[in-house]
Amino acid sequence: IEQAVKDAGGKMAPGHSEGYFQTIAVAQGRQLREAKEHELILQSDVLINVPVLKSHGGAKLTVAMKNLMGIIWDRGEWHSRDLHQCIADFATYRKPDLNVVDAYNVLQRHGPRGVSTADVANVRSQLLSTDLVTVDAAAAKLFGLEPDAVDYIRMAGEMGVGRKDLANLNIRRIAL
């Protein structure tokens, strides 16, 4: 990844030390009241979240909300508490400007790493939304699950983070 970033003219951002992270308050959190977020995210004008849709042993699915765990320092704390509630809580604080879900090759079993290519399905899709809950709900459906079957999606919807009622949204399907 580092070489691809350099070839494209980009710069790698370090995240291997707690010194790169700053404590933020999660005012609306029920379980998670604060977290340490990477300083570059805090300084950014725009945040584009690009998760890969996949199964996850602890959270059932990794989509947009779960992907935000990558910008905080202590993910282990979330796992040791109520993982689903912590994911929903953090979503009340940090809402990306755009979420682009890569659902081209989807890890359907044994996530987050998988054990063989038999765990991967070629779905050839991409989901885009400014709403974390909407994009996660749509991804759950694409994965074959009802959104409420993924606790953090249900919780975030109940907390008013976003909309999960896909039937009442204007969704466009574009085939290329």
Question: For residue 9, how many C-alpha atoms fall within 13 Å in the half-sphere facing its CB?
Answer: 0
pTM: 0.91
Distance CA 70, CA 48 (A): 13
Q: What is the DSSP string of 21-60?
A: EEEEE-TT-SS--EEEEEHHHHH-S--EE-PEEEEETTTE
| Helix, coil or strand: residue 120 | strand
Residue 49 has pLDDT above 80, yes or no: yes
| Helix, coil or strand: residue 171 | coil
Q: What is the pLDDT of residue 112?
A: 82
pLDDT band at 87 (very low <50, low <70, confident <90, very high): very high
Kindly report, residue by residue over 137-168, the tens digit of the pLDDT: 999 999 999 999 999 999 999 999 999 999 88
